[in-house]
Amino acid sequence: MPHPAIALPRLMAHRGLSAHAPENTLTAVRAACEAGFPWVELDVQLLGDATPVIWHDATVRRCSDGRARLVDLDLPRARRLDTGAWFCDRFRGERMATLREMLALIEELGMGLNLELKVTRGRNPAALVDSVLPTLLDALPPERLILSSFHDGALARARELADSSRLALGVLFEGIGREWQSRCAAVDAYSVHANWKRLSQRGAHAVREAGYHLLCYTANDPTAFAHQWAWGVESVISDDPACFVDHLPE
């Protein structure tokens, strides 16, 4: 079955424009759009009350004024957290975004979304997918959406609920090992998302020759990355994509 006709951008803003605004927030996504980057990579997981929120870590310690585990929070408690002041005082008062709020903003701005399913230790991947996917598919058209994960079970559940014509799946890798192709084939993947520091020319060529799109995360040094464009990388996910603008291939 064919995959969606996605016009992959050369550059995606990692967790929104996270070099200049608190990651995974509505403000960071607005900043990416204002800077001219129409695709963002974000993370989603569940609070303890099963509310899907845009958040990366298993706890709120790093990116808020709280100390709790996400699984121990319900939405009212999560809303009381300041998720901006840790980054810079001018972002004081930023609040954790729910998936619905974020999708409404992305649709309003006409942006594309690469959404990573974050399955932290002890959490149920099927519960995450079952909660996220209907809302996601209702909000965005197939050509502006990639759902990605390191977790094979989460990707398999997503594929059970949506075929490849409706939903592009991206398989995340730290390194392109021997099992990469079987993992991609099992979920009829659209793309491979590789750690740029562990990507080899041989691995990149194998991915492209097998017909998969190739994205790299999280590159912030355009000079060090430059030779990888020739390997067939199509998109770079960066905290500061503007630094790549003058270093893109023809």
Q: What is the pLDDT of residues 114-143, one digit of tens each?
A: 999 999 999 999 999 999 999 999 999 999
Q: How far apart are the first and last CA of the chain?
A: 32
What's the CA gap between 92 and 40, in Å, rounded?
22
Q: Report the chain's mean pLDDT, rounded to a whole number.
A: 97
Any residues with CB less than 8 A from the CB of 199 and at least 6 apart, and which?
Answer: 175, 176, 216, 228, 231, 233
Any residues with CB less than 8 A from the CB of 51 and at least 6 apart, and which?
Answer: 74, 75, 78, 98
Q: What is the pLDDT of residues 184-242, one digit of tens each?
A: 999 999 999 999 999 999 999 999 999 999 999 999 999 999 999 999 999 999 999 99
Count of helix runs (H) and strand runs (E) in the chain: 8, 9
Dig out the tokens for 134 from the structure.
């209907």
**Backbone dihedral angles phi then psi of residue 80, each to the nearest 5 degrees:** -80, -15
Q: Which of 175, 168, 121, 178 is nearest to 147 (CA)?
A: 168
Any residues with CB less than 8 A from the CB of 75 and at least 6 apart, and which?
Answer: 47, 49, 51, 53, 98
Q: What is the pLDDT of residues 129-180, one digit of tens each?
A: 999 999 999 999 999 999 999 999 999 999 999 999 999 999 999 999 889 9
> CA–CA distance from 163 to each of 48, 72, 157 (Å)?
29, 34, 11
Q: Look at the pTM and tell me if it is higher than 0.85.
A: yes
Whether the predicted pLDDT of 1 surpasses 90: no
Contact 99, 124 (CB under 8 A): no
What's the CA gap between 97 and 218, in Å, rounded?
22
Dig out the tokens for 156 from the structure.
């398999």
**Backbone dihedral angles phi then psi of residue 235, each to the nearest 5 degrees:** -140, 145
